[in-house]
Structure 1
């Protein structure tokens, strides 16, 4: 992907390892955060100033876009209890979580592949806006679904259709948003990544509050009856909690669409991401060439684009495999397996326990991404990052030893502490956020990734391909959750 030097000034590096792309001086105002670095040129024996300008307004909007990218997924998984309450009596209820994660990620893979292949033929600003608007519409539909009751099979297919639609929309949203953020530089990429984790924490906090209010006066007898009845109640608590998620999420998405529409008109945005808009227009216009010449030109451009994607994929294969494997392990466990683990304290309601476990994971994920803002904890070694990713495989046997996941016929579990279990869930999220962020930053860093060979035009492709590998990992992990659950059921017939 060609990036004109007139639109973005050459990048420079700072001690943090982040790469900053300086914006045109005319765009600087009081809302900017600026850093000045004094550099001594030995050859010219002159002192000159390099201005690293970071537009805090654009960073915050990319933070909101990061939230918007993972908001649909987090809303779906944290509303799992609501979906299950509407599937009582259906044989699909036991495997609903696996179907939800698997279908979502599989369609995400195909949509992301198409979005990546056609990224040059479409305007990134239009893709971001219309994808975000479509996500908003689907979440509104989910919000209204909490006001009615349907046949379990009908509701199952409705939930699957919403999940698939959200996955497709998010695919186009993420490719366009990541391409723009990568052109601005590492601070904006970090903002998007942090936003993805932050929205999960916000949604989980809402879930914990609503769950706590709904089960506040539950007696130990009522909790025991709820557990013995396979977690089936009247569904009121789950419904109220989901209604709050969906409603607040829809309002946030509307705000994000409005903020992005405003940002797309800023001179700084046009100067930085405008080259992608120009390329899209060139791809879509015929110019003065005839039809045959245009087809030949497009075919050649398409071949060059595919070769570029393949070259970047091969160069970053270690980062990409490590990133995919992070989410293979995470999705094989969370939330399909973790949601089956019940509290050992008879005074803790399972709904509140589940809500807190989502919050612990999302807090860990957020801090795992956030600490990558500190240079002292960042490693750029691809081999070391791959080792971190592979070591996370140990989480699978560890969680199979927790609480009641072993079932009543297995006796006392090895890990029989709610506190220890929550620490493990937090560690799962922390490692997931930390390692995945290292992969994303390393894959697209011109300064710290020698495999890119200082090809600045490869930066958007590197981030997009890495995002695609992330989704592939989610899809494989979703399928793997069926296998992990089968292991549990084989070990203990009491586990559904």
Structure 2
């Protein structure tokens, strides 16, 4: 029997020596109930770890599918003013929506069922990915298509937040190896999606003459849209199949004993809360003592956030620096080599960044590469600001043609690789350090672990939203028009 009160959601009711529950005999002087975390020496279940890898993929699949389909979306907006600012509007709609829903999920994380949120979110995400798959067939009015993409992006953002919040909390409760698998899965899906996109584009433009490339550039990348359409159809279709497989794996996960004994306890929280409250009320009536209220979940959230602010700020700023330029600005960088097709160049730049992001997260699987100090992680996060001017020095398309300071395509790709590597590395360091009872002495107990992970997930979305909005300002520095104009 497990009881859960407002303050501690995983606490086992103490038993007397004869095995009888002693919850009714607790006094106000009794020590607080505790629950020990999983033993650090316990073997890691590889099947569960791979399931969390898949769930990590699922949390970022919608975002990566959307940003890698930018070429397809823009091909449907040819001849409209919205084509130029589409990336900024889409990323802003996605991330601002995510921020609002992330705030809600964070506040209600202790009163929710992780299993139901995970399974329900996967179903909704699969549905909207299927709608995008269908959208690759008909031709619709550009204005209607623009609105369709934004609405679907908003819905997918909200569902993705419910999914990621529950996945982060579960991985944190199970331990570091499962958190590592989750964040690695997020980067791996980006690499897979961008690889599929690049291969599709390569097959479509193979053998194109330099004259045709020059014409493509002169016409601002306007083609017949067939290449972008077929590439989008492939990876949206594959995404639907992947989400269906992940749903089956998630159902299997909820039936595993390790999951039931840790994360699964939250699924029965409402019932356990009633048991705990009934026990407390009976004790108050019998003893005549006043019921002493427990701290509210909101106070725990604020305390954990305040105590771990360096980690929270590091996580948020990591994504602020990234989204300020990627992909809204980086997708406007043109190749300096006239023989390189711009479509391939854009797809390659997504792949390079995503490979770097995956490597950055993978590096954290080596203990010697992990930094536990909050101040050092914060310094690494702030240093990433240098990537903003570095990208602007490259061959960015501007209102007035200016020779780029960095005229090498190879050097530009190396900058992107470093941008992605540092993004994945600093983010993973923050997630591992903030949820580590052994290294993060700001945590007061095992009950703070999932709160810290959930708050870090909130700061991720906060950083994405702020960075997306900041991209409008960065874009204003390279054009002489209103960056918000459609």
| TM-score where L is the length of structure 2 | 0.88
Whether 1:192 and 2:199 are equivalent positions in the alignment is no
Counterpart-to-counterpart distance in 1, 2:225 and 2:274: 51
Question: Is the contact between residue 115 and residue 264 of structure 2 (CA under 8 Å) also seen in structure 1?
Answer: no
Shift in Å at residue 474 of structure 1? 0.4
Match of 2:457 among 462, 467, 470: 467
Figure out how many residues of one structure are paired with residues of the other and give that number.
Answer: 449
Q: Greater strand percent: which structure? A: 1
1:3 to 7, 10, 16: 10
Query: Partner residue of 1:232?
Result: 222
Within the candidate set 254, 258, 261, 1:268 is matched to 258
Deviation at 1:5, TM superposition (A): 5.6
Secondary structure (helix, strand or coil) at the match of 2:44 reads strand
Q: Is the 8 A contact 1:3 1:456 kept in 2?
A: no
Mapped pair 1:418 → 2:425: no
1:255 correspondence with 2:255: no
Asked whether the 8 Å contact 2:320–2:467 carries over to 1, the reply is yes
What are the residue-to-residue correspondences of 1:340-379 with 2, within 5 Å?
340-379=332-371
**Pick aligned residue for 1:482 from 472, 477, 480:** 472
Report the equivalent of 1:101.
91
Kindly indicate whether the alpha-carbon contact (under 8 Å) linking 1:4 and 1:275 is maintained by their aligned counterparts in 2: no
Q: Which residue of 1 aligns with 2:429?
A: 438
**1-structure distance, mates of 2:274, 2:98:** 26
1:323 aligns with 2:315: yes
CA–CA distance in 1 between the matches of 2:69 and 2:82?
Answer: 16
Distance 1:168 1:459 in 2: 24
3-state DSSP class of the match of 2:479?
Answer: helix
User: Following TM superposition, by how much is the alpha carbon of 1:90 offset from its aligned partner in structure 2, in angstroms?
Assistant: 1.4
Please tell me whether residue 427 in structure 1 is matched to residue 418 in structure 2. yes
| Structure 1 unmatched ranges of 5 or more | 12-20, 23-49, 290-298
CA shift for structure 1 position 120? 2.5
User: 1 CA distance for matches of 2:401 and 2:193?
Assistant: 36
- Match among 300, 304, 328 for residue 308 of structure 1: 300
The residue that corresponds to 1:131 in the other structure is: 121
Residue 246 to residue 6, structure 1, CA distance change in 2 (3 Å): farther
Equivalent residue, structure 1, for 2:390: 398
Question: Displacement, 1:408?
Answer: 5.8
TM-score, scaled to structure 1: 0.86
Q: 2:152 aligns with which of 156, 162, 173?
A: 162
Aligned equivalents of 2:84, 2:398: Cα separation in 1: 16
Q: Who is 1:29 aligned against?
A: none
Question: How far apart are 1:117 and its partner, in Å?
Answer: 1.5
1:347 deviation in Å?
1.1
Distance 2:222 2:178 in 1: 44
1:139–1:246 contact (8 Å) kept in structure 2 = yes
Secondary structure of residue in 2 paired with 1:234: coil
User: In structure 2, what is the Cα distance between the partners aligned to 1:305 and 1:492?
Assistant: 44
Please give the per-residue CA displacement for 1:195-221, whole angstroms capped at 9, x wherever unaligned. 000000000110110010011121111
Distance 1:107 1:283 in 2: 31
Alpha carbons of structure 1 residues 467 and 404: separation in structure 2 relative to 1, 3 Å: closer
Matched, 1:179 2:186: no
Residue in 1 that maps onto 2:192: 202
1:2 to partner: Cα distance: 2.9
Is 1:149 aligned with 2:130? Answer: no
Q: Give the corresponding residue for 2:205.
A: 215
Deviation for aligned residue 1:452: 0.9
In structure 2, the residue matched to 1:333 is 325
Matches of 1:468 and 1:491, distance apart in 2: 33
